């Protein structure tokens, strides 16, 4: 009597459902958000290109404003200089003995921003002095402050042309300034010691006038005199032959006439309202080239570049380059309008390279495309891994179903037989000792079958969970030790098994009972599919060939091999990589005629791995299979 239960069919996860959920939760959001990001990126690039002209014009304006600030910083330093500093020598304003020293405009190096300084006294028409030669003092810093060089000559010519030529005034310029200007918003009023003012406006040398001051010390001691200093004004002119604009900043220093009697004629200028015109001429190369280049590095963006005023634009400009322009000169509140050609030469250009922006956008788009491509590959791999995982899950479910079915056959049948024979013996159905002995033998056989199944399950767990340390040994000796048990089937010697053991094999890595487990399971598996008469298929030569062959050999690579060859139905190529999986049995468990749980070949693979060996299955020439174990050398 044989009892069997057919397990309910287990259903694994649906690949179509998993794929739909993956697309819905991963692929679709990635595509939607990627498309939105791409659209926003294109809109932003278009906005940048449309705003580039305005950005360039704003940058040119900021550049001019920053240059103007730098010029004002230079003028703040000039504004704080006392009026006597615009001379070669100046009287030292203290209470000690009269002495002079070189001014900073002579003793210190000239800044790169300055071409030179100038100072002169405005003529007085009331004294009938207008038209007489006016002394213009030009200073050039340390080195040659008094030398007549082309720059000094140029400045003298410019000063005369800008300030001394033209219609004759009808009154003193200094008097007109004092009458028309409220000094509180005009500049500064600096009270100075009278003897300081007298010595620094004297026509003669200090030595000629110092004796008069010493002789009348009580007359001048403690006296103060107001000195009115205006803020700087600006004028521009042309530098020939280049025609470049020259910016001149000048201030007016007004000193009212002295109300006390003079003691020497060398102090005669103070008998009237006196006005000195002092100023600085900025180096055109610094103002219109070096200064904007320095500030452009801080003001302009990476795609904008500064072009100096003398740059000539091509007749057919590059359409990918937008030129924004601004002029530095209008920022200065000039006293009178400059000539148009002078103003035009102060124009600065800012070039915006649209092509460079487009190249940057192409790089940005390329990076976006690369990220999208990588993401697409990742999602494709994810889909493949998902489907593979689903397939493995379904296969695992199928193997579990097969294992349940096989365990049902393998456990229920011997249990039912043991129970049946035990009940018959208990009830005394059989008085014949021969029958009783036969039933007891069957009970022991079925019990051994159950014990073997349990041992296999426990062995699988032990091989999977524990670490193993193989030792050196002889393969042939291990095969010889297990040979007697392999040749016995049901207590009788079988004739379906043959051995071919190669001589002089090198030692290999082995585990205790490892070869025994491998050969036992491989031979048992072969006997299921290759019966003792399976080799006889009508071929006279093969009719004498045993169904199973166990052999050891050494291949061309000096590797030691253990092979079990059978003449069974063989294994399809697509199933060869899966026969060593746990609970893997080919075919449908519900209709299978052979016994087993799908653990035999899996135990072979686990045992080989524990010894550092590799196991594989190959087709055998003429039909059947070859199970090959490549052992590790000791």
CA 201 vs. chain centroid, Å, equals 68
- DSSP H or E stretch at residue 189: strand 187-193
Domain termination residue (choose one: 283, 299, 334):
283
pTM value surpassing 0.85: no
Within-domain flag for 346: no
Write out pLDDT tens, residues 419-467. Answer: 777 777 776 776 677 777 777 777 777 776 666 666 666 565 666 556 6
In total, how many domains does the chain have? 2
Contact 279, 251 (CB under 8 A): yes
Within-domain flag for 227: yes
**CATH for 483:** 3.30.565.10
Q: Residue 536: exposed, middle, or buried by beta-carbon count in 10 A (0-12, 13-18, 19+)?
A: middle
Determine the 3-state secondary structure of 561 from DSSP: strand
The confidence band for 201, taking pLDDT boundaries of 50, 70 and 90, is confident
* pLDDT, average across residues 354-374: 86
Q: pLDDT at position 207, please?
A: 63
Q: pLDDT at position 14, please?
A: 64
The whole domain housing 116 covers 100-283
Within-domain flag for 19: no
- Stronger pLDDT, 57 or 545, i.e. the higher one: 57
Q: pLDDT at position 129, please?
A: 46
Domain termination residue (choose one: 228, 254, 283):
283
| Backbone φ, ψ for residue 75 (5° rounding) | -75, -30
Write out pLDDT tens, residues 231-256. Answer: 888 888 777 666 678 888 988 898 88
The confidence band for 563, taking pLDDT boundaries of 50, 70 and 90, is very high
Q: Residue 176: exposed, middle, or buried by beta-carbon count in 10 A (0-12, 13-18, 19+)?
A: middle
Within-domain flag for 183: yes
Q: pLDDT at position 106, please?
A: 85
Q: Which of 54-58, 72-76, 320-324 has the lowest mean pLDDT?
A: 320-324
Within-domain flag for 306: no
Within-domain flag for 536: yes
| Among candidate residues 515, 517, 612, the one with its CA nearest the CA of residue 562 | 515
Within-domain flag for 229: yes
Q: Which of 187-191, 477-481, 487-491 has the lowest mean pLDDT?
A: 487-491
Domain termination residue (choose one: 262, 283, 304):
283
In this predicted structure, the answer to whether residue 380 has a pLDDT above a threshold of 60 is yes
Q: Which residues contact 509 (CB under 8 A, 6 or more apart)?
A: 470, 471, 472, 473, 611, 612, 613, 631, 632, 633, 634
Write out pLDDT tens, residues 334-343. Answer: 545 556 666 6
Q: pLDDT at position 629, please?
A: 92
Within-domain flag for 489: yes
């Amino acid at each position: 009597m044989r009892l069997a239960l057919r397990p309910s069919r287990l259903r694994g996860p649906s690949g179509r459902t998993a794929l739909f959920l993956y697309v819905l939760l991963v692929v679709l959001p990635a595509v939607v958000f990627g498309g939105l990001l791409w659209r926003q990126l294109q809109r932003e690039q278009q906005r940048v290109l449309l705003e580039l002209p305005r950005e360039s014009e704003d940058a040119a304006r900021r550049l001019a404003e920053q240059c103007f600030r730098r010029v004002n910083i230079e003028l703040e330093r000039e504004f704080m200089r006392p009026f006597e500093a615009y001379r070669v020598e100046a009287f030292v304003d203290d209470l000690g003995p009269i002495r002079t020293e070189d001014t900073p405009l002579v003793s210190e190096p000239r800044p790169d921003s300055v071409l030179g300084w100038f100072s002169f006294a405005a003529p007085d028409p009331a004294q009938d002095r207008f038209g007489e030669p006016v002394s213009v003092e030009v200073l050039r810093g340390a080195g040659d402050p008094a030398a007549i060089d082309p720059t000094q000559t140029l400045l003298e010519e410019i000063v005369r042309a800008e300030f001394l030529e033209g219609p004759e005034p009808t009154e003193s310029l200094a008097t007109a300034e004092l009458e028309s200007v409220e000094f509180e918003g005009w500049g500064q009023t600096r009270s100075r010691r009278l003897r300081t003012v007298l010595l620094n406006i004297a026509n003669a040398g200090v030595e000629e006038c110092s004796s008069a001051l010493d002789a009348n010390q009580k007359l001048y001691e403690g006296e103060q005199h107001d000195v009115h200093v205006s803020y700087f004004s600006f004028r521009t002119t042309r530098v020939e032959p280049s025609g470049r604009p020259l910016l001149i900043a000048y201030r007016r220093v007004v000193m009212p006439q002295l109300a006390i009697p003079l003691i020497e004629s060398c102090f005669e200028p103070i008998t009237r309202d006196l006005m000195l015109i002092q100023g600085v001429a900025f180096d055109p190369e610094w103002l219109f080239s070096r200064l904007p280049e320095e500030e452009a590095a801080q003001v302009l963006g990476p795609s904008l570049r500064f072009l100096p005023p003398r740059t000539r634009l091509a007749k057919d400009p590059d359409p990918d380059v937008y030129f924004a322009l601004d002029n530095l000169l209008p920022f200065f509140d000039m006293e009178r309008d400059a000539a148009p050609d002078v103003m035009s030469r102060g124009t600065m250009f800012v070039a915006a390279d649209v092509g460079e922006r487009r190249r940057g956008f192409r790089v940005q788009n390329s990076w976006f495309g690369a990220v999208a491509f990588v993401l697409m590959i990742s999602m494709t791999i994810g889909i493949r891994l998902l489907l593979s995982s689903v397939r493995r899950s379904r296969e695992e479910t199928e193997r579990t179903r097969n294992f349940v079915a096989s365990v049902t056959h393998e456990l229920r049948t011997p249990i039912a037989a043991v129970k049946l024979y035990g009940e018959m013996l208990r009830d005394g159905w059989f008085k014949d000792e021969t029958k009783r002995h036969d039933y007891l033998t069957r009970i022991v056989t079925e019990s051994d079958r159950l014990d073997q199944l349990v041992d296999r399950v426990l062995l699988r767990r032990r091989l999977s969970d524990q670490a193993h340390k193989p030792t050196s040994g002889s393969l042939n000796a291990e095969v010889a030790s297990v040979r007697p048990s392999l040749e016995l089937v049901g207590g009788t010697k079988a004739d379906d098994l043959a051995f071919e053991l190669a001589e002089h094999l090198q030692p290999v890595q082995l585990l205790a009972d490892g070869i025994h487990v491998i050969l036992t399971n491989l031979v048992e598996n072969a006997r299921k599919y290759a019966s003792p008469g399976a080799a006889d298929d009508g071929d006279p030569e093969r009719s004498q060939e045993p169904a199973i062959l166990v052999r050891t050999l050494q291949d061309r690579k000096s590797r030691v091999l253990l092979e079990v060859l059978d003449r069974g139905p063989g294994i399809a190529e697509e199933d060869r990589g899966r026969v060593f999986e746990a609970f893997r049995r080919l075919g449908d468990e519900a209709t299978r005629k052979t016994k087993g749980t799908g653990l035999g070949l899996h135990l072979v693979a686990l045992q080989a791995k524990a010894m550092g060996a590799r196991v594989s299955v190959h087709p055998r020439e003429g039909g059947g299979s070859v199970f090959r174990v490549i052992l590790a050398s000791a």
